[in-house]
Amino acid sequence: MTKFSPLSEFQATGDGHYQLAPFRFSPLDNERYVITNQAGEYSVQPRSVVAALVRHELKPSDSAYSRLRSKHFLFDSSSTIGPVMLATKVRTKAKRLANFTALHIMVMSLRCEHSCPYCQVSRQSEDRSAFDMTKETAEKALGLIFQSPSPAIKIEFQGGEPLLNFDLIRFVVEKAESINEVEKRSLQFVITTNLAVVTNQIFEYCKEHDILISTSLDGPAKLHNANRPRPGKNSYELAIEGIHRARAALGHERVSALMTTTKASLGMGREIIDEYVRMHFPGIFLRPLSPYGFAVKTKWYASYDTESWVDFYFDGLEYIIELNRRGTPFIEFYASTILTKMLTPFEPDYVDLMSPAGIGISAVVYNYDGDVYASDEARMLAEMGDKSFRLGNVHRNTYAEIFTSDALLDPIEQSFAGSAPMCSECAFEPFCGSEPVFHKATQDDFVGLKTRSSFCYRNMAIFKRLIGLMEEDPSIRELFMGWTR
């Protein structure tokens, strides 16, 4: 039987005749580089392999050659379909852009009965109804919301404490439902609440209208109550009781919680995570403080540096991996978003990590006074006096005016990470975002100098750590794959 040809007859000659695919590279550590192609696929390679690849010195017999070809970092005569596959992947990643504005945040009231010193929205004391949204404003906002071309519309009620203006929530929900009888979009509501003033009637209403609840839980009682003061010093007790009641009324998975990291949280990562495990949440979003609102005024934002937060994050991540190994499935949601970018052909919708910037594209905010902002952070910045990201007002501007305003398009264009200095050559750019609001707040510039950006520092550190962990241990890669969406 000599009818079969040997492998060598099917192999490229290996004289360096290959075409480089467009790719970026950045150091992972002293020896290794991360390289990413146009579709955000990555490979970790020694510095020497990347240099050889670029100089056409890589040979088909080198172990990296076949792998780099399969991942579309180089093309050679063995196959002509590579560029078509790469283009298909690029298109898949870009699909998100087609779903223009799916999340609409409506600020029902700036009032709040909590007085959290880290509040990033500059809440007002409870009794001043001047900070409530009116019916007229809500109606106008709804008109704009349904002009969005997105097939899925999510309306999130925020504050202050939105339940302090619950009558308006009912008005918006019912009005939106009636508009949707004609529009037939996929319509979803979320109330972001501290659950302190919630009643059984409100839960019944939420159940009837299929409304999701998102609440705050900073960790164990002592930490939570210290972070989130209110009359009675019982924020934690009310939140826990509220979560139980909400789950009983709406179903376990319809209630989610968010934490914010304060200086007091830094040494308590594991206890915070334990609290979420104890409360049977599927995971936690370890969030740093943002440079907005009271958090800046009270200097809480500046109370810890990015390095400390990153240490806190890494320790939490390590603990969560340990929990999974011991048989408790649990997810860190920020990692989950990044891993979805790294490990899947898809692009998650997460405003902070998008380029072009997610502002206005994936979320838009209708403030209590009718002003429209490009993101939740944008309105926080506005409450501090910087209205750079104000797109218009529901009473005075049309949909077209708002969504083609310079306040939206300028920062998106300027900060587009594909072309921003340093970002344009960064291997981690496909996993990152441009965050013009953050850079406007911290450096007074939409783009920002990335070497001095804590946003850049924090995310680079996380990208490198996630990739490093996966390189070092295949079982972590498998776990992380399960975290993707």
Partner 1 sequence: MLALSGFATWTNVDGGSPKALLRLSTDSVVDASDRQHDAYLFRGGPVSPDYEWVVTFERFRADVEAARTSGKFIVLPNHFEYLAGGDVIRFVPGRKAVRVLFRASANANYFLTTERCNHYCLMCSQPPKDVDDGWLADEICEAIPLLPTATPFLGITGGEPTIIGEPFFRILSKARDHLPNTPVHILSNGRSFSDTAFARRYAQIGHGALSVGIPLYAADPEIHDYVVQSKGAFDETIAGIMNLKSLGQEVEIRVVVHKQTYKGLTELSEFIFRNLTFVDHVTFMGLEITGFTRANMDSLWIDPYDYRSELRNAVRYLAAARMNVSVYNHQLCVLDGSIHALAKQSISDWKNEYVAECEGCTKKDECGGFFASSKIARSAHISPFLS
Partner 2 sequence: MQAEPSELVASATESFDLSVFSMDCIKRAGYRITAKASVNISTEAGNAVCVLHFTKPVSREDAAKAVEGLRLEVLDQDLRSVVAAETATLRNTILALAFSRSGLQSVD
Q: Which one, 287 or 477, has the nearer CB to partner 1?
A: 477
Nearest approach, Cβ of residue 78 and partner 1 (Å): 5
Using CB under 8 A, list all residues that contact partner 2: 19-25, 27, 38, 50-51, 54-55, 83-84, 86-92, 94-95, 344-346, 421-422, 425, 449, 451-452, 485
Quick one: what does residue 51 bind among partner 1, partner 2, none, with the CB cut-off 5 to 8 Å set by partner type? partner 2
**Which listed option, partner 1, partner 2, none, makes contact with residue 97 (CB within 5 to 8 Å by class)?**
none
Q: Exposure of 406 by Cβ count < 10 A (0-12 exposed, 13-18 middle, 19+ buried)?
A: exposed
- Closest approach of Cβ 83 to partner 2, in Å? 6
β-pair partners for 371: 393
- Region binding partner 1 by CB under 8 A among candidate stretches 85-93, 190-198, 259-267, 388-396: 85-93
- The amino acid present at 25, given as its one-letter code, is F
- Which partner from the list partner 1, partner 2, none does 232 bind, CB cut-off 5 to 8 Å by kind? none
Nearest-10 Cα torsion for 433, 439, 441, 443 = 170
Query: Considering the rule CB under 8 A, would residue 67 count as an interface residue with partner 1?
Result: yes
Distance CA 6, CA 228 (A): 71
237, 221 Cβ separation under 8 angstroms? yes
Specify the residue, 8 or 200, whose C-beta has the smaller distance to partner 1.
8
Contact between 19 and partner 1 per CB under 8 A: no
The nearest distance, CB 55 to partner 1, in angstroms, is: 23
Q: 17 vs 222, which CB is nearer to partner 2?
A: 17
Task: Annotate 426-440 with b (16+ C-beta within 10 A) or e (fewer).
Answer: bbbbbbbbbbbbbbb
Choosing from 19, 48, 79, 178, the residue that interacts with partner 1 (CB under 8 A) is: 79
Q: Does 84 bind partner 1 (CB under 8 A)?
A: yes
303 part of the interface to partner 1, by CB under 8 A: no
41 vs 156 by CB, closer to partner 1: 41
Residues in contact with partner 1, total (CB under 8 A)? Answer: 34
- The item of partner 2, partner 1, none sharing an interface with residue 55, based on CB under 5 to 8 Å by kind, is partner 2
Kindly state whether residue 225 participates in binding partner 1, applying the rule CB under 8 A.
no
Strand duo 211-216 + 186-192: pairing:
parallel
For residue 452, which of 460, 443, 461 has the smallest C-alpha distance?
Answer: 443
Instruction: Tell me the closest approach of the beta carbon of residue 91 to partner 1, in angstroms.
Output: 12
Which among partner 2, partner 1, none contacts residue 25 (Cβ within 5 to 8 A by kind)? partner 2
Find out whether 422 and 450 touch, Cβ atoms under 8 Å.
Answer: yes
User: How many other CB atoms are found less than 10 A from the CB of residue 445?
Assistant: 14
Contact partner, 70, from partner 2, partner 1, none, Cβ < 5-8 Å per class? partner 1
Site for partner 1 in 226-255 (CB under 8 A): none
Smallest separation, CB 89 to partner 2 (Å): 8
> Which residue number, 75 or 319, has a Cβ lying nearer to partner 2?
75
- Letters for 33-52 (x = contact with partner 1 by CB under 8 A, - = none) are ------x-x-----------
Our finding on whether 66 is near partner 1 (CB under 8 A) is: yes
When asked if residue 398 is in the footprint of partner 1 (CB under 8 A), the reply is no
* Cβ-based nearer residue to partner 2, 21 or 217: 21
Tokens coding 84: 């078509």
464 lies in the site for partner 1, by CB under 8 A: no
Q: Scanning residues 140 to 199, which ones bind partner 1 (CB under 8 A)?
A: none
* C-alpha–C-alpha distance, residues 171 and 366, integer Å: 16
- In angstroms, the CA 71 to CA 85 distance is 10
Q: Is 272 exposed, middle or buried (0-12, 13-18, 19+ CB in 10 A)?
A: buried
Q: Using the rule CB under 8 A, which residue among 26, 38, 92, 188 binds partner 1?
A: 92
Task: Spell out the residues 6+ positions from residue 261 whose beta carbon is closer than 8 angstroms to its own.
Answer: 286, 287, 288, 289, 304, 309, 312
* Contact stretch for partner 1 (CB under 8 A) within 44-52, 177-185, 341-349, 431-439: 341-349
Is the dihedral angle over the CA atoms 86, 88, 91, 92 positive or is it negative? negative
Nearer to partner 2, 252 or 485 (CB): 485
Strand pairing class (255-258; 283-284): unpaired
Amino acid at 136: E
The distance of closest approach from Cβ of residue 413 to partner 2 in the complex, given in angstroms and rounded to an integer, is 17
Instruction: List residues near partner 1 by CB under 8 A.
Output: 1, 3-7, 9-12, 39, 41, 66-67, 69-71, 78-81, 84-85, 88-89, 92, 343-345, 474, 478, 481-482, 484
